[in-house]
């Protein structure tokens, strides 16, 4: 079993839709949870960062962490074609080693 599971998609939605991206994990020691966006042939860029459980909102993006269920989510409101990318979840126990999910490919159709 992988430490972090993420559905690779692809996920295709119409412009303006609410997108829900999710990851599950098995290591209860994870404390730091991150979401990265990666455009094709580019390095990932940090979108959201959350420590422990709870919600965090930044513009159209909301990150949720449920440690009791070992489940994290990223919601994108009013999705735009420019949001089309691969979204990777990532987790860390507090050390330097971060575990990444496989990434979910998102396509937002105009």
Partner 1 sequence: GAVVSQHPSWVICKSGTSVKIECRSLDFQATTMFWYRQFPKQSLMLMATSNEGSKATYEQGVEKDKFLINHASLTLSTLTVTSAHPEDSSFYICSASLGQGALGYGYTFGSGTRLTVV
Would you say 76 or 91 has its CB closer to partner 1?
91
Q: Cα–Cα distances in Å, from 109 out to 14, 30, 78, 89, 98?
A: 5, 34, 12, 23, 32
Residue whose CB is less far from partner 1, 34 or 65: 34
Report the relative pairing of strands 11-14 and 104-109 from DSSP bridges. parallel
* Least distance from partner 1 to the Cβ atom of residue 16, Å: 27
> Do residues 104 and 20 lie in contact, with contact meaning Cβ atoms separated by under 8 Å?
no
Binding-site ranges for partner 1 (CB under 8 A): 4, 6, 8, 32, 34, 36, 41-46, 49, 51, 88, 92, 94, 96-98, 100-103, 105
Minimum CB separation from partner 1 for residue 87, in Å?
Answer: 12
């Amino acid at each position: 079993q992988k430490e972090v599971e993420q559905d690779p998609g692809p996920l295709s939605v119409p412009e303006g839709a609410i997108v829900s991206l999710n990851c599950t994990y098995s290591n209860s020691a994870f404390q730091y949870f991150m979401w990265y966006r990666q455009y094709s042939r580019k390095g990932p860029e940090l979108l959201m960062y959350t420590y422990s459980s709870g919600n965090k909102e930044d513009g159209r993006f909301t990150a949720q962490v449920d440690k009791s269920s070992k489940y994290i989510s990223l919601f994108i409101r009013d999705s735009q074609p420019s949001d089309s990318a691969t979204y990777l979840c990532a987790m860390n126990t507090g050390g330097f080693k971060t575990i990444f999910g496989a990434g979910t490919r998102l396509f937002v159709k105009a």
